Amino acid sequence: MKTSDASIALNTSRNSTLFVPDNVDFDTNPMCEAVSIEREQECHEIPTEPSPRTIYSCWNQKQFIDWFTMHNRYVSDAKLFDSEKRNYERPVLMLIGDSITESFLGTSYGVETERTKSSYGEEAFRYFQTLLGNKYETIVNAISGDQVQHVLWRLQNGELPQSASSNNQAIFVILIGTNNLGNGHLPNPTAQGILELTKELLIQTKGKIVLLQVLPRGDGSKILPKLCPPRCTEDEKPFQSFFPAVRKVNDKLQNAMSTGDETIKMAYISKRLALIDCGEAFLVSGDSGMPDVNATLMPDLLHPYELGLKIMADCIAKEVEAQRLAGG
């Protein structure tokens, strides 16, 4: 990215300076673009390759700056967590993800918004902690809008506490991938990115991994027309639903547990890695008989709100406790 006279300097976690031009129109830079008449697409960020947020994954300059501010905060939090030498008679529990996971903090990009306020995320998080009997040192590591490649980059750039990664009683919960689909990535590279992140955590940590399947989303009629081209049907029309793409991603994740990368397979067989589905509870039968998102639980058809977050808490807590009781 070229710098200009009109730019803002940000300090990153590596003590380098990132220049953010203030004359860039972020909204005109799609993540993926058609590169041939056959509608082959080329994406500026790849789910399997670690990347910070760029002009292709932020809506505006403020969001770009807010993301790096959140990243630097999480780096500081990780250092503080290590320096405080927590009581490790309690296992470390780290929740990793995007806006759905950040909802448990009651924030989006670290700030309370109308959506997060009406989601009652902090209340759901207290409920989650109560379900677990406050037995865990819990870390929420999530930034709204994040895609797989952004989480990979964040964890490789100072956000993973050393004391958590070296703790064989730690449990890491991952929910990520919906924003890749929502920004134009196809199901296969999205699934490959999720698996790459899972493998990275398996290698970099000694604890257990709980990987959540991508949740259903019902905002396809609003988002998918913006992604065509290149993501269109054979007759050049936008897809109408995210359901097929989400299903393909989740099928690929499930298949990888037995036929994928050796690190993934062995972790799954040894029960160090669990793959769980928390999305079924968010589905209802639509008018056509096809599944639809329960708007009571997901009013914006993407984010679980109050009761939906408690359902998420129930689902995650059940598996976390199962992992704890199973031991290492």
Q: pLDDT of 266-320, one tens digit each? A: 999 999 999 999 999 999 987 776 789 999 999 999 999 999 999 999 999 999 9
Handedness of CA 216, 221, 222, 226 (dihedral sign): positive
Mean per-residue pLDDT for 169-186?
Answer: 97
Per-residue pLDDT band at 17 (split at 50, 70, 90): low
Cα 296 to Cα 315: distance, rounded to the nearest angstrom: 18
Altogether, the residues listed in the chain come to a count of: 328
Q: Three-class SS of residue 272?
A: coil
pLDDT at 204 over 90: yes
Tracing tokens 């993973």 back to the chain, one arrives at: 160
Tracing tokens 């990132």 back to the chain, one arrives at: 18
For position 90, what pLDDT does the model report?
82
User: H or E segment at 41?
Assistant: strand 41-43
Per-residue pLDDT band at 3 (split at 50, 70, 90): very low
What token pair was written down for 91?
A: 């296992």
User: H or E segment at 137?
Assistant: strand 137-142
* β-pair partners for 138: 93
What token pair was written down for 211?
A: 């990987």
pLDDT at 5 over 50: no
Q: pLDDT of 42-90, one tens digit each? A: 999 999 999 999 999 999 999 999 999 999 999 999 999 998 865 567 8
C-alpha distances (whole Å) from 189 to each of 49, 91, 129, 193 are 10, 33, 34, 6
Per-residue pLDDT band at 19 (split at 50, 70, 90): low
Q: Three-class SS of residue 242?
A: coil
pTM for the full model?
0.92
Mean per-residue pLDDT for 182-188?
Answer: 96
> Are 245 and 231 in contact, with CB atoms under 8 Å apart?
no
Longest C-alpha distance within the chain, in Å? 60
What token pair was written down for 16?
A: 């380098």
* β-pair partners for 140: 95
- The mean-pLDDT minimum among 117-126, 166-175, 298-307 falls in 117-126
Cα 207 to Cα 182: distance, rounded to the nearest angstrom: 31
